[in-house]
């Protein structure tokens, strides 16, 4: 059994940066700290659990979920993300939203009210992210939510009743005042911070002068492939989109460290 044990957003790993594996939990769990089953990773059953205090025992370390990306295999990292999303969902669905009675797990990914039998499942926050290209330049912006000095891509959450393409157009217009066209799907990425799905697109500039929405963005501009500012790490789909732009322009991968 592989154990995905979290204390808030900190994941328990061995001192070698690996997930604990064994027939029993690697640490003592209290009666209320139950393990919950996940699917398998490479043929090994997995489960998750939540603890109240970080572990400081010899042989173990607590690592942030984002930081675990550089230590775990991709399949283990994705499962860690799923485990964290389920933990977050479990924390926020203790009681029924209809009658207020306690909720109990019904399946691995659903709960049922102990009184009115209402069932709930984890929900995702859907967001789009887009690489806008103007000839041989890409539009990069800095969100005021970024904690470090780097630049990424225009992104935002999908609103009710909105198509993904409509959301791409709206977010670009709201944040930069430019018009785009030729919107095409690039890829998607689970974003478990805490429960998102990022859907990536590429688009072409049509018209308009760049005017930043200062309530959302700190700075922004057009950049060529050989003159990029600090950019996101390879963890994010933003980086995949930027790397794709560089490959199209220069025929090679971008070999820089991101934030």
145-169: average pLDDT: 96
The total of structural domains in the chain comes to 3
Model confidence pLDDT, tens digit, residues 175-185: 999 999 999 99
Q: Label the pairing between strands 137-143 and 125-134.
A: antiparallel
> Is 53 found in the same domain as 129?
no
Residue 257 maps to a domain: no
Determine contact, residues 63/13, Cβ cutoff 8 Å: yes
Q: Of 31 and 36, which is predicted with more confidence?
A: 36
Q: Would you state the pLDDT for residue 251? A: 79
Model confidence pLDDT, tens digit, residues 50-98: 999 999 999 999 999 999 999 999 999 999 999 999 999 999 999 999 9
Q: Which structural domain, as residue segments, surrounds residue 112?
A: 94-123
Q: Would you state the pLDDT for residue 253? A: 66
> Is 237 found in the same domain as 168?
yes
> Is 244 found in the same domain as 201?
yes
Q: Would you state the pLDDT for residue 147? A: 85
Instruction: Work out the widest C-alpha separation in the chain, in whole angstroms.
Output: 62
Residue 88 maps to a domain: yes
Q: Which of 92, 112, 134 marks a domain boundary?
A: 92
Name the average pLDDT for the chain. 95
> Is 208 found in the same domain as 151?
yes
């Amino acid at each position: 059994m592989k154990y995905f044990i979290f204390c808030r957003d900190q994941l328990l790993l061995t001192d070698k940066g690996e997930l604990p594996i064994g027939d029993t939990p690697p640490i003592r769990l209290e009666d209320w700290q139950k393990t919950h089953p996940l699917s398998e990773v490479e043929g090994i059953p997995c489960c998750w659990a939540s603890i109240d205090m970080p572990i400081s025992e010899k042989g173990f370390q607590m690592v942030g979920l984002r930081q675990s990306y550089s230590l775990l295999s991709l399949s283990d990292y994705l499962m860690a993300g799923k485990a964290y999303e389920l933990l977050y969902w479990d924390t926020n669905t203790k009681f029924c939203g209809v009658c207020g009675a306690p909720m109990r797990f019904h399946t691995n990914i659903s709960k049922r009210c102990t009184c009115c039998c209402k069932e709930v499942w984890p929900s995702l926050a859907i967001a789009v992210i887009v690489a806008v290209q103007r000839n041989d330049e890409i539009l990069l912006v800095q969100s005021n939510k970024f904690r470090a000095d780097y630049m990424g891509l225009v992104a935002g959450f999908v609103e009710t009743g909105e198509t993904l393409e409509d959301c791409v157009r709206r977010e670009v217009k709201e944040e930069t005042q430019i018009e785009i066209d030729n919107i095409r799907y690039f890829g998607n990425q689970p974003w478990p911070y805490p429960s998102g799905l990022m859907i990536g697109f590429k688009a072409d500039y049509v018209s308009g002068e760049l005017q930043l929405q200062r309530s959302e963005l700190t700075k922004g501009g057009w950049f060529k492939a050989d003159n990029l500012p600090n950019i996101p790490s390879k963890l994010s789909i933003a980086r995949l989109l930027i790397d794709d732009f560089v490959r199209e322009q220069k025929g090679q991968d971008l070999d820089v460290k991101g934030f």
